[in-house]
Amino acid sequence: MELLVYVLLLTQAVLGNTKLDSCDEECTCISGILKTEKSCTSVEEAFRNFNITPDYVQVAPKDFLEADFGTATVNLGNFIPPLRLVDPKTVSYHKGKKHGYYTLLDIDFDGESNVKVIDLLMNIRDVEKVVPTSGDVIVLFTPPLPALGSGVHRHGKLLYEQKGPIDANQLDLLKLSRYPVIPNLTKFTKTYHLGNPVAGNLYTTELRRCDSSDKCLDKDDSVKQCERLCKILSNCNNDQIDQMQCDAVDK
Ligand SMILES: *[C@@H]1O[C@H](CO)[C@@H](O)[C@H](O)[C@H]1NC(C)=O
C-alpha cells in the first residue's frame, strides 16, 4: 500500500504543477508493474459500489474481465495513475464462445460529456486475447487521461456478446468514431442487441494539481525521490512488488 501511495505522490509531482515552482522538475520514467491485491468483492458488487449499476449499466456483469495495461492491471476499481494508462495490452475473457461475436466497450463514466468512449471494438471473434486492434475498430483507443482537476474518473470495461455480426460501416457507428460519446448506454445496447454485459471490470484515475500535501515543496527532495523510486522499481521484480518486500516500501 505504501508503495502505491508513493507512486501516486510521485505521479502528482511528475505530472506538472504551475502553482508550486518547486515541482517543475519532471520525472518521466515508469518502471515496475503497479499491482494491487486481488479485490475480494464480486464484479457485481464493484459495479454497484462505484455507482455504475444501475445508473449507467442496468445489470452488472457477472464475470471478471481481465484487462492489462503495460504496467498496471485493472482490478475492480483500483486506482491507476494516468501515466500508466497510455499503453493498453490485452483484455481476456476465458469463458467466451468459440464462434461468438463480441463487443468491447471501454468508457469513462466521468468524462466531460458524461459517457465518453475510450475505445469500442465490435465483431471480436477471439476474446481470449483482445488487443486494441481486434475485430472491427469503431472507436480507436486514445489514452484515457482525465482532464486536469476534474476529479476522480471511473473507467469501465464492458464485454457484450452480440447476437451475430454487426455492420461496422453503418452511419451511427461511423458518427461515433468522430464523436465518441454515448449519451444513453441502455439505448445504445438496445440498438445493437447487445443485452447485458457478460464480463466487466473497472478502475479509477485522477489528474490533479499538486498541493502542499504532496510533499513536493522541496525540489531536491522530489527529484531525489523520483530517481530513487525509478532505481528501486527497476531492481524489483514483480513478485517482490506484490509482496511489498522492496526496499521502497520499508523506507
Ligand atoms: C435511455 O434509453 C432507455 C431505452 O431507450 C430509456 O428507457 C431511458 O429512459 C433512457 N434514459 C435516459 C436518461 O434518457
188 C-alpha to ligand 1 centroid (Å) = 9
For the stretch 76-96, pLDDT in tens is 999 999 999 999 999 999 999
Respond yes or no on whether the N-terminal peptide bond of residue 165 is cis (omega within 30° of 0).
Answer: no
pTM across the whole model = 0.79
Q: What residue ranges define each of the domains in the chain, with the CATH number in brackets? A: 27-208 (3.90.280.10)
63 C-alpha to ligand 1 centroid (Å) = 25
Kindly give the number of the ligand 1 atom that is closest to the alpha carbon of 185.
1
> Would you state the pLDDT for residue 37?
77
Helix (H, G, I), strand (E, B) or coil at 122: strand
Protein residue closest via CA to atom 11 of ligand 1: 184
Determine the residue type at 33.
I
187 C-alpha to ligand 1 centroid (Å) = 6
Range of weakest confidence among 22-26, 42-46, 247-251: 247-251
> Which residues line the pocket of ligand 1, CB cutoff 6 A?
184, 186-187, 190
Range of weakest confidence among 100-104, 146-150, 201-205: 146-150
- Minimal CA–CA distance to 105: which of 204, 201, 205? 201
Identify each DSSP E strand in 70-220 by its residue range.
72-73, 78-79, 88-92, 102-111, 114-124, 136-139, 153-161, 199-205
Q: What are residue 67's phi and psi, to 5 degrees?
A: -145, 125
> Would you state the pLDDT for residue 32?
86
